[in-house]
Structure 1
Amino acid sequence: MTAQPKRLAALAVAVLAAVGGLAACGGSSSSGSSSSSNNATTSSKPVYGGTLNIVAAGGPDHLDPVPAYTTYDYMLERAYARQLLSYPTIPATSTSSSAWTKSTTPVPDVATVVPSTLNGGITNGGKTYTFHIKSGVDWDTSPVRQVTADDFIREFKAFCNAAPGGFVGNIDYYSATIAGMSSYCNAETSYFSTPSHPVTAASTANFQNTHTISGITAPNPMTIQFTLIQPASDFLNMLAMPFASARPVEYDSYVPNSLQLDQHIISDGPYKITSYIPGKSITLARNPSWKQSTDSLRHQYVAGMQVTEGVTSAQTQLTDMQAGSQDLPMDTQINPPSVPGLVASKAPNFGVWAWDNTIPYIVFNLRSPNSGGAMGKLGVRQAIQYGVNKVAVQKVYGGPQVTKIINEVIPPGNVGASSTNLYPTPNNSGDVSKCKADLKNAGYPNGVSLTYLYQNDSVNTAAFTAIQASLKLCGVTLNGKSEPSSSFFTDLGNAPVNNKPGTWDAAQGEWIPDWFGNNGRTIIPPFFQTDCQVNTINYGCYSSPKMDGLIKSAEAATTASQAGNYWNQADQLAMQNALVVPLQSENYPMYTSKRVLGPGAWSPTIGASDPTNVWLSNG
């Protein structure tokens, strides 16, 4: 299955709401830079002690790392779940800075080193990865127990469990790369699809413990080896995903993603969960089994963390942080009317941080029969490329301080990103004459009327209005069809019905990649690989043997530079066919209480704060 917009839908809409009220002058921006005076960039000696208070509307979707796929899941998991590789938390105000590169490059976590061909960790022509596990990385059990290779294998075996909501957040990365992963998942799915095999803790554990994934083995307890179907230059990034955390044997006693498991989380990180009351609170304390000497990425600065759930008002959350009764937000961002004042105040506990995404973009329904099948005609799609005033859209989202205009599918700064703008307009403000000419050449001299699908929150509505106004100038009439986010992505990806009369013609999508740098796999295949089925992210149902071939070559590349060449060609092919209109990439505004110090206020790879890298000024 393709990656669902779960992580995206939960977070991106909140981000849009956060910046939507900021009035700013228009103008193009492609540097990827932002501004920040946040305490995260302030040098100070760490202070130990105190309780970090985290405020949330709903809190994490999951505590079990396998199905967890939202940024606020990742935020809390940082405290209790470790991976072979992970990312350091380093403040970055520009995606072109060395800090950004460092913060988005995998480094050792539980593994002793990052494997490479030079150190002998990558062999067999790039198809075998060998990791050695650090001694002293322990589970918070009685007695304390070393994390072993089997704990990681157990996690991968749990990816395709049949428990309700328990399936891994994104299986595609792993089933397409690890030998035997796909067949293992198919076997487990088939086994539990019959009524005679009900899903229980015992039956799930028995299946997983009596079946193997051929491409994941443990030569000894402190060594794990992955054998790939083909080389994958981004495999290290996949292993840095929180899905790939170690999993203790005790979890075999619980149904995956169950309340019972959630209330018995076992930690190998710096903090452990001591209390979990769903919908109300989560309490964490220092994990006495964790050793700083085994973990260069996390710390035990605060004595504990208290997550308060159920505070649904963004204004209440901000007021509480300003008053000092709460310290960090989890899943709700800054109230729109508050942003201009925070920007003007230059408060040290507010910053606009570098991030990288495609929020929003316009996607075309290539199979729509409306208006004479207009969306299937290249000339009409190209006309819209020229007609959109991207500066007007940028103003809706806060202006160049908060967003940067983009003209390619892969955002600037990532491997394979294109520097070529195939549809240039003056100052990115649209070209009415070129839009009209392309429409006429496509057979629509009198213009065209299209149905445009968008989310009905205030910011997406304002963006639609700006796009609608700019295209109207050249004869493209957008008839808005708004939906709540709860149904928007479902309808957008409902391929079986999206080729019928009256369906949508163009829509306002959003996308956040799962990692940065060599991340073409997280963008190009979901968008453009042949995949016209329910819940597709290829909303337009584009299908091209040439595109599929470029994707296959990129995914099999042995180096990032080789992959980048293919991803770049795929990006160019998509833009030549005008499959989407990239509009902008957003930075991230973040507010904390005044007492929060340290680099963890924002982590781009988490998509939220890193609570293991902040301390409190008053301890």
Structure 2
Amino acid sequence: MVKSRFSAAAALIVAAAVLTTGCSAGGGGDATGAAGTPHKGGVLKVLAKGDLDHYDPQLTAYVPTYNVMRAIARPLVSYKASSDAKTRIELQPDLATEVPKPSADGLTYTVTLRDGITWDAPSGARPIVAGDVARGFQRLCNPVISGAQLGYFQNLIAGMAEFCAGFAKVDPAPAAMKAYVEANPISGIKAVDDKTVEFHLTEPASDFPYMLSLDSTDPAPVEVLDYVPDSPEYRQHFISSGPYRIKSYTPDAKLVLERNPSWKASGDPLRTANVDGIEMTMGVEGDAAMQQLQAGSADVLFDLAPSIANISQLKAAGDKKLQFVENGAVDQFIWINTKSPNNGGALANIKVREALNYAVDKAAVVQVLGGSEVAGVTNGIFGPGVLGYKAYDPFPSKDAKGDPAKAKQLLAEAGFPNGVTLKMPYRNLGVQPNIAQTVQESLKKSGITLELTPVPPTDYYANFMTNPDNATSGAWDVAFVGWSPDWQGGAARSVFQPQFTFTGTPQTYNYVDYNSDKADKLATEALSASTTEEAGALWHQVDQAVMEEAPIVSVAYRKGAKYHSDRVAGFDFYAQSQNGDWTNLWLTK
């Protein structure tokens, strides 16, 4: 029963989470966030290297995309833009009148839609209704391309697994898909009336309200059933529920948003929509983007960030427009391959794994990442910003510099007085080679030799780490990876489930089929908790239960560096995108 809660998610779910790790990181506030009085007007100029992952809310999973979705699509619940790390991860009602609470048995959540919320429909403004909410969930498992976050809902919402199984057999053409959706409701999602939706779950899930903040759960207007999901035709006829709508779009080149005349400020407690429009130019490289921001010819960044060199220069200049934000990620951490036959299967011995945890100089890795202002030490599976994160150190060392003497002692007790030699692949990209060499030097002090092997970054996850044969054959012993939660606040499930559970079906990013029955039991209790405080305490115990078995070395988290032009004010962070909230900032000139 315990393991059933953590059924294997589709590969796309965890792939999406890995994609976000490079774009999300650690904390700080905006020194200019409260400067001046907000006023309307102007066009916000955004620079991007690439395009959105999807323009269809049900399919989005790429962190930068959430800033565009914030402008054109609204979920039931969301977050308030804030420079305060605690405030910005507190769940707030968006389309809903309040954050839903569970029934006494934890299996039912009721959502009431607020007044004055509308679609920018072709025939004119039309109210968003409960049936639109149900339709959004139905579209998650369409037979053309399933939503990357489907796995969190498919077995949790009553009847959704059966609905999706039937949908998979439907001809992936608009007419057939529309007929199936309209004839087959999900039994666990009931539109009681136009303003009321009931969700019936198969088991308690205290984090369900947080999951409703994902754009993949956004309502969908009936018109979208006339198009293949996220097709060019769908994008051409996108119907907005946010303060902006798509005016024009050229793939991989330019996106222009204009005000949505159907949107009413009175029906939106989270967006002030100060700017008149948003223009995003794609195909821009990092250094060129920073030059444009500093010159004032552009305003904010989409999927770009200041480089370490940029950060050093901006810090030296005392530029207050440089800010940092946390998102709960642990990036970097080291997976330990307990399946490796190397060294006589040494890594299956917990004392060897504990020795690795004592041996790593985490402080040195933080310095490679840019220092304490842009990174910090971690010691568990959760990073700052996740409900359940608590600073603790199961393998303590002075100033997080490692304890070679303790590591040598544990290796000797495990039968390896002369140390071990381990294979470590690394991405040949950015600071990754420097991180690998730094760890190599620190482990040498404990008698652990690392043999480093560069792997092209495009192959590292897709072909090397996710190939189970590489684990069982001993192609690697230890490897650096990163992970970012799929939503904010109560997001512990999205860290624990894909990486640290095994029910018999391999998880793509649980590289060695690791599982802890103790952690599973505690996670089940956390998901049944009646308060966030109780849930947080239990998730911390999950963290401790996993680290008792030392399947990883938790090393560091990164803080996402953000920057904007002189004319931008009110640059407060939106938690989902880990970026300044375009729908609340304003232009001073």
Q: What CA distance in whole angstroms lies between the structure 2 residues aligned with 1:400 and 1:496? A: 35
Residue aligned with 1:126, SS? coil
Q: What CA distance in whole angstroms lies between the structure 1 residues aligned with 2:384 and 2:588? A: 37
Residue 288 of structure 2 corresponds to which residue in structure 1?
316
Q: Does 1:80 align with 2:61?
A: no
1:317-363: CA deviation from partner (whole Å, max 9, x where unpaired)? 10111111111110111133211111122223222234431011111
Q: What CA distance in whole angstroms lies between the structure 2 residues aligned with 1:306 and 1:512? A: 28
2:92 partner amino acid: V
Q: Following superposition of structure 1 onto structure 2, how do residues 5-84 of structure 1 map, counting pairs within 5 Å?
A: 5-13=14-22, 34=28, 38-40=31-33, 42-84=34-76
Residue 3 of structure 2 corresponds to which residue in structure 1?
none
Q: Following superposition of structure 1 onto structure 2, how do residues 411-450 of structure 1 map, counting pairs within 5 Å?
A: 411-412=383-384, 414-450=386-422
Q: Does 1:173 align with 2:162?
A: no
Alignment match of 1:455 (pick from 424, 427, 430): 427
Residue 497 of structure 1 corresponds to which residue in structure 2?
469
Report how far residue 60 of structure 1 moved: 0.7
Alignment match of 1:115 (pick from 78, 100, 105): 100
1:166-225: CA deviation from partner (whole Å, max 9, x where unpaired)? 311212221242111222222222x14xxxx3x111122222221121110101111111
Q: Following superposition of structure 1 onto structure 2, how do residues 57-456 of structure 1 map, counting pairs within 5 Å?
A: 57-92=49-84, 100-116=85-101, 122-141=102-121, 142-163=123-144, 166-189=145-168, 191-192=169-170, 197=171, 199-311=172-284, 313-412=285-384, 414-456=386-428
Residue aligned with 2:574, SS? coil
1:400-432: CA deviation from partner (whole Å, max 9, x where unpaired)? 111121212223464333444221111110111
Residue aligned with 2:514, SS? coil
Residue 608 of structure 1 corresponds to which residue in structure 2?
579
Q: What CA distance in whole angstroms lies between the structure 1 residues aligned with 2:442 and 2:587? A: 48
Alignment match of 1:510 (pick from 475, 482, 487): 482
Report how far residue 609 of structure 1 moved: 2.8
1:551-606: CA deviation from partner (whole Å, max 9, x where unpaired)? 33333333333433432332112111111111122222111111011134x32322
Q: Following superposition of structure 1 onto structure 2, how do residues 591-602 of structure 1 map, counting pairs within 5 Å?
A: 591-600=563-572, 602=573
Report how far residue 84 of structure 1 moved: 0.9
Q: What CA distance in whole angstroms lies between the structure 1 residues aligned with 2:567 and 2:206? A: 41
Residue 520 of structure 2 corresponds to which residue in structure 1?
548
Q: What CA distance in whole angstroms lies between the structure 1 residues aligned with 2:80 and 2:494? A: 21
1:136 partner amino acid: G
Q: Are residues 543 and 12 of structure 1, via their aligned partners in 2, closer, same or farther at CA, if it must alter by over 3 Å?
A: closer
Q: 2:21 touches 2:329 (CA, 8 Å); kept in 1?
A: no
Q: What CA distance in whole angstroms lies between the structure 2 residues aligned with 1:162 and 1:240? A: 24
**Which residues of structure 1 form unaligned runs of 5+?**
17-31, 93-99, 117-121
Q: Are residues 64 and 414 of structure 1, via their aligned partners in 2, closer, same or farther at CA, if it must alter by over 3 Å?
A: closer
Q: What CA distance in whole angstroms lies between the structure 1 residues aligned with 2:326 and 2:521? A: 33
Q: Are residues 86 and 15 of structure 1, via their aligned partners in 2, closer, same or farther at CA, if it must alter by over 3 Å?
A: closer
Matched length: 579
Residue aligned with 1:453, SS? strand
Q: 1:553 touches 1:566 (CA, 8 Å); kept in 2?
A: yes
Q: What CA distance in whole angstroms lies between the structure 2 residues aligned with 1:51 and 1:529? A: 47
**TM-score, with structure 1 as normaliser:** 0.89
Report how far residue 147 of structure 1 moved: 0.5
Q: What CA distance in whole angstroms lies between the structure 1 residues aligned with 2:474 and 2:289? A: 42
**Which residues of structure 2 form unaligned runs of 5+?**
1-8
**TM-score, with structure 2 as normaliser:** 0.94
Report how far residue 232 of structure 1 moved: 1.4
Report how far residue 14 of structure 1 moved: 5.2
Residue 473 of structure 1 corresponds to which residue in structure 2?
445
1:513 partner amino acid: P
Q: Are residues 66 and 402 of structure 1, via their aligned partners in 2, closer, same or farther at CA, if it must alter by over 3 Å?
A: same
Report how far residue 437 of structure 1 moved: 1.2
Report how far residue 457 of structure 1 moved: 0.9
Q: What CA distance in whole angstroms lies between the structure 2 residues aligned with 1:71 and 1:436? A: 41
Q: 1:371 touches 1:449 (CA, 8 Å); kept in 2?
A: yes
Report how far residue 285 of structure 1 moved: 0.3
Q: Are residues 14 and 418 of structure 1, via their aligned partners in 2, closer, same or farther at CA, if it must alter by over 3 Å?
A: closer
2:98 partner amino acid: V
Residue aligned with 1:504, SS? coil
Q: Are residues 534 and 326 of structure 1, via their aligned partners in 2, closer, same or farther at CA, if it must alter by over 3 Å?
A: farther
Q: Are residues 342 and 531 of structure 1, via their aligned partners in 2, closer, same or farther at CA, if it must alter by over 3 Å?
A: farther
RMSD: 2.0
